[in-house]
Amino acid sequence: MNNIYIPSYNRADNVRTYEYLGCGKIIVPKSQESEYKKRYGSAVQCIDDSRDGSVAKKRNAILDLIKEEQEDGYGWIIDDDLVKVKRKKEGKDLEGDETLELLEKIYIMAKDSGIKYAGVDYSLDNMKLKDYQPFSFTKVIFGSTLICENDGLRYDERFKINEDVEFWVQKLNLNRRLLKDNQYATVFYGDDGGKDSVIGYTNDDRRVYATMLNNKWGEKIMNWNKTRFEFKIPIKGV
């Protein structure tokens, strides 16, 4: 697959997503290009350092790359610390090539359906898996996202965290439906709160950016109740 983009920073010795999948374009700032190429060679693709510096800025740079490089406008953006994908019902860990097949199937389904934002579930909780609901069409997607950039939407670079939640709201607000495969779950290094986890943000940080979400979208759309976000745009037929 040539439509997988892996944003990375200061992890030149171990881009877990690339090690797992065996492919992908590793997107790094120009100042780190030589270090990454020692291990990953031609898989490394650099952007100007001015396009780096925050997750939202880097993802916007990747959306521009998708626009330039992908004729149909679709590209996967997958965080650089993906360690496995699990099929929830059987508790089976997929091999890298099996995950690539899954990503390809989701891409085909989304493209054929005109859906511009898709991905894999992130919850390993089998209690939430229902046989009659293998897919969701409005639920938030984290970490591994298939994005069609041709609707012109971009990440809001004011958000240092929750930029993915805010982008999900944009996508759903404009396009009215997404696609999330509930039968599988992504597992990222640090999901357990390890040293490389992004869980280093404080509750005060989360409160600040949750308030920003409220202020931008209004409480009728994005209602923060201290522990979770609730999306309230009514969608017919899903």
- Establish if 103 belongs to a structural domain: yes
Model pLDDT, residue 11: 97
- Establish if 232 belongs to a structural domain: no
CB atoms within 10 A of CB 138: 16
- Establish if 238 belongs to a structural domain: no
- Establish if 212 belongs to a structural domain: no
The CATH number of whichever domain residue 122 belongs to comes to: 3.90.550.10
Question: Are 165 and 212 a contacting pair, CB within 8 Å?
Answer: no
For tokens 């979770």, the residue is 228
Q: What is the pLDDT of residues 194-217, one digit of tens each?
A: 434 444 567 788 788 888 888 898
> Is pLDDT at 35 greater than 90 in this prediction?
yes
Model pLDDT, residue 193: 40
Q: What is the largest CA-CA distance in the chain?
A: 51
- Establish if 138 belongs to a structural domain: yes
- Establish if 20 belongs to a structural domain: yes
Q: What angle do CA 93, 186, 99 make, to 5 degrees?
A: 55
Number of separate domains in the chain: 1
Identify the domain containing residue 80 by its residue range: 4-201
- Establish if 99 belongs to a structural domain: yes
- Establish if 211 belongs to a structural domain: no
What does the pLDDT average to over 67-90? 96
Q: What is the pLDDT of residues 105-143, one digit of tens each?
A: 999 999 999 999 999 999 888 777 788 889 999 988 988
